[in-house]
Structure 1
Amino acid sequence: MAKQALHKIDALRRRWVVYQVLADAALSAAIALLAAGVFLLLGWLVWWAFPVFWSVFSIMLVLHCPWRIGNQKIVSFLDREYLELQESTGLLLLPAEELNVLQSLARANTEEAWANLQVGHKLFAKRFLRSALLMALAALFFIAIVILYHPANGGNSRTRGIGIAEQKFPMEKPLPQIDGIGVTITPPAYTRRAQRSQDRFNISVEDGASVNWHISTNVAVKQPYLLFNDKERISLRNTGEGKTWQAAKTISGPGYYQVSIDGKLSELYQVQVIKDAPPVIQVKTPKPYTYIDAGEAQRVTIDAALTDDYGIANAQIMATVAKGRGEGVKFKEYKLNFNTVFTGQPQYDAQKLVDLPALNMEPGDELYFYVQARDTHQQQSRTDVFTVAVQDTAELLSMDGILSGANLKPEFFRSERQIIIDAEQLLKDKDSITVEKFNARSNDLGIDQKLLRLRYGKFLGEEDESQEVPKTSDGVADPADFSNAAKILKEYTDDHDKAEDAQFFEPAIKAQLKATLTEMWKAELQLRLYKPQAALPFAYKALRLLKDLQQKSRSFVAKTSYNPSPIKLDKRLTGELDKIIQPVNKQEIKPAGDAFGALRKAIEVLEQLKAKPTLTTADARVLQVANQQLSLRASAQPGTYLSALGAMRRILSAQKISAIDIGVVERAIQITITAPQVLPSAKAQPADGGLSRSYYKNLKNAKP
């Protein structure tokens, strides 16, 4: 009975843990939904609610620790909720032989009640139900925010650009005479976008788009117009009884505009322009520098990913082949087309297999290429230059440079070269010898390659297998060596340098030696498999790495000569240094005018307005100049400066100045003003007017 009771209590404990975790998750979701609603009101990204959820959920799990709930807590909970158990549930978990007479009687009564006890989920799910109710209320709050502030219901006006994030605009307050507005945007042809319409003045259009305004008024008006950037005026054409007006304009730059009706100007409306970015090219293969070793296929695959905002019109590979050495280098250019047909899609994965012999490339030649792409707006971009070099085996096998200069390991170079020569000769003799002899010679070359690799391994601290001899007797069997730890370690451990601790060469040289050993391993494997043709690329690469090491071992010291000026013996050891002066280069630098002087003065005026909101004539002139500079910046960056420009105009025209408008203007000016450039200046005059300097000068000239 005790075992069955333990299983049942453990099941109840797991049920409690699950409900506690679900309660924490529901409460965290409720907080995240509330945060998402607040983010939506503030115009932030709603996706920031996910980090809020995981952060709150983690904190709650750490605070509550539901996995630490034990069986004793479940027992106490059952005794408190079910009176028929007589607070004796814990006796069911104890062995019967450990109970006294009274405990045995109480246990018998509890077993009867325990057998008929049905524990439901309601008691464990109380906290979860409360959290679920809070989550439902938070979900309703979020849905209400989405419905009330959705663009279709006249909330924050938004328009989605092509290739950029969603653009947000402030609430619009049209003139009271305007009854309706319709704006038709016709994107330029290169975008391949359809015509769209909107019912708001703030617009976000593609570069070169055509915009048509259709304005209807509730009264007949005379001579309405659109004023762009306080400069350009576009008259509205009357299309019906003085209440329907129309205008059109091609947008080529950002800015702002106002609607004028019967001499009254509207608020400032933004004109955002979506610039078409040039194509983006990412070359996946090959690497910036590719070296084709002897025996490898002389071809290279160019794989490029092309992306653009509106579409790729064409892409080409501009290749140049360099042949020859020194002054006899010749170049020849090629234009290679990808295998992809470009139809103006925004993304392409283009490939081209370039056969180097088809470009008349020979061993020792180099191929330079870059990828160039053009979009539907005739904008071009290109990648960096990539290099593909074909190994010249004749130069690699030559002895030039080995007989002269420093040569630390000449026999090792000759050994690797001889393996390559023997492997090529074996391939030539393949048709004239038997298969057994061919395999034997290939295996012998593999043995030579192994010996060469072991000789190089010594430079990296690796174990020399050629010196390993079988042990004929146990060297520690002598009773006199009992408990001699040093001799035991020497007998049963490898007593040689570790590869990582060997200090024969610098780290860069060691890394290249390790790469050489790797190529030798690969060449040996192919030779042991009787495939000398497959072993040649690895052998050639090993030889190239070794020859490069030999070149790195040289050092060059240029010969220099120094002819000192003759020493005047009459001045030698006199200690007179007054004729030795530092060269002085004087240059008069006139400071340029402060481009932000008007804005700095405007900040002073705005700070005064906070204490005394009364605008004098002099202060108004200062703010007028600052208003002109803000106007220029708002025409270039309306999203940043348009609200500040409107606030500045309200300050200049309002009878009562708002502190909120002052803060908006000051923030915009602080963004604009940069730190002044530090210019060289004359050294400050000492406090004594140079008296100490004159004193020491006269003291030196005074005769003793």
Structure 2
Amino acid sequence: MTAVPALTGHQTAARLRANLDTVALGLPAVLVAAALGWRLLGTTGAVVAAVLGLAALAAVSVWRARRYDRRWLIGALDARIPRFEDSTALLFRDRASVSGLTALQRDRLESRVHEAAAMDLRPGWSGRPIAIAWGAAVVLIAAILLWPTSNGADSQTAAAARPATAAHPPVLTGARLRIIPPAYTGLPVREQTALDARVPEGSRVEWMIDFAPQPSTAGLEFPENSPVSLVRDGTRWTGARIVDRPMLYRIEAAGLAQQRLNRLDAVADAEPVVRLVDPESQLVQLTPGQTTWTPVFEASDDYGVIETATLKITVTKGDGENITFEQRTMPLRGQGSSKRMRFSTTLNLAREGMAAGSDLIVQLVVTDNRNPERHTVEGPSVILRWPANLEMAEGLDGMAMRVLPAYFASQRQIIINAEALIARRRTLTGDPFIDASNVIGEEQAALRLRYGQFMGEEAEGGGSGGGSIALPTADEPARPALPTADAPAPARPAAHEGEAHADTPGGAMGSEVDVLHEFGHAHDDRDVATLFEPRTRGALARALDAMWASERELRQGRPEQALPHAHEALELLKEAQQATRIFLRRVGSDLPPVDFARRLTGEREGIVARDPERPERPAADAVAADAWRALEERPGASSTPLALGALDAWVRQNGGRIPDPLALRAAIDTVRNEPACLDCRRRLRALLWTALQRPAPAPGRRDAPGQRGQRYLDALR
């Protein structure tokens, strides 16, 4: 369907006229609402009122323009142009859809369209209502702006132009802080209206302060730092300072009322953190055939680390006292973001001079981008160890045992390792499974020997384990450990095989057994052997037997059979560790001498302990305690004087142990300037409670008994 453009132009013009008329009528109401919002709520209220008013005005405008549609246009043309013969609707129909007399009539109308193009169909202006609305708006806006405030002050502009006098002291009307962090932080510049701020250490803080009326001088007072003078630029006062540590400050001006202290917290730059990524442990053993090693470190920092780091490399050679060191450094370039960067390199072991019995130690040194003083941090040291017995003669590989430092696994860890090995049986079979089980058996043997030392045992001949036979104590004869219920008596290695302990000598003349027996050979110190009570000692002896049974099964590649003995050993160790008493080494008694002159005399003077003196609070803490009591809200508390000067000195002296000394000092200053502020006093009292040092608890004696109670106590004596 098509329409004649000359006719549809009337519809567009009518809608535009309706929209403009609606705006002219409603805009005064929007301006009045914005002025009222500004007077009541400030700039925010004015903006909100204006936005809501314009939205409502737009909705009304759209609603009024909807009536000027095509139906209205056809009716208006039929009513205003008689020559259209009430057939204007034919002009908006498609030519292909009409025929016969209808098509003939349409052709006649198209020849008369020029008559409609010259006509004005727009609705008229609402002149009288518009004039009334604008006149009323002007009156209302003037009344709103000129209505006096509660304090009788004029507008901000007029007050700024008037100089400060005694009758009109300056008032702080606005303040903004512009915070410029150091360049190395990469943080953007920000502004805020709050006078308290938390900024990175070394930031530049700029103040932009407005007064009304203008004072003669203005500045910033810092109680423990030099003041900052504010410079006037038109109606604004500006100043700046580098914040390198936490500080308090207040705004001052000639004639300005005393302001509260504000706070600037300087957040110190944290040192970089170096983490070892690969390998997972700091001690790694060289594997057969290994020729290179690639340690990986990760460095992180709150503002970023420098891309180039230093790797310290140390190679040790020799053993015993003949150990030599070779040290060198090499630069490394990291990868990743500056706040989390990884450093790695591949070291050729032959080029580094590694040999059997030597260690290769690497340590990463990173530096952050702090300016001017950078933080340099040394990361964890990682050791690659080449044991001396790793390269064995041909045919002796099965007898080689990797030796690491004496790191002992707990009994619980041995159980966890055994259970993990059992879970891997499907994927680990044959010799690898037996080797892994034997390694756990070695850990069990080391733990057994460690606990065996408390029983007075000595190391076994092969260095692989220790016996768990309970040696004789002061109150029980020597007896071998009985087999447990889970395992028969094993053919275990004794602590001293071949030694006889009978009362009569045995063996040939001059043998080792006869010599030791003759000179009174003892396995342990008698006092050490009686360290535990018999019950605890028996539990520990049974735990050693269970450990031996567990070790035997593990060394034979049977971790399933070793688990019951390992669990039994763990329970017995817990029982031994929870013993309620032990027998200490016997020492002589040191009793006070008996005064035979007072025996059987009934004199009790000097034998009853005096009442312990109550610990007094130090004089320094007494100042804070007295202030805390004086701030209590009770009748008559307001008359109690507050020694705020002494309290402020106490905070300065003890700032190292007070959780937040700046907040406490600011609260003291507020109470000094506003003594009638109840909330300020409550806040100061709460901060004092957290700052007071708790006195050490002291035992207290019972109150003295009454007359009846004293007679009862005398009767007991």
Answer yes or no: same fold by TM over 0.5: no
What's the TM-score once normalised by structure 1's chain length? 0.43
More helix by share: 1
TM-score, normalization by structure 2 = 0.43
The higher relative CO (CA closer than 8 Å, separation ≥ 6) is in 1
Greater C-alpha Rg: 2
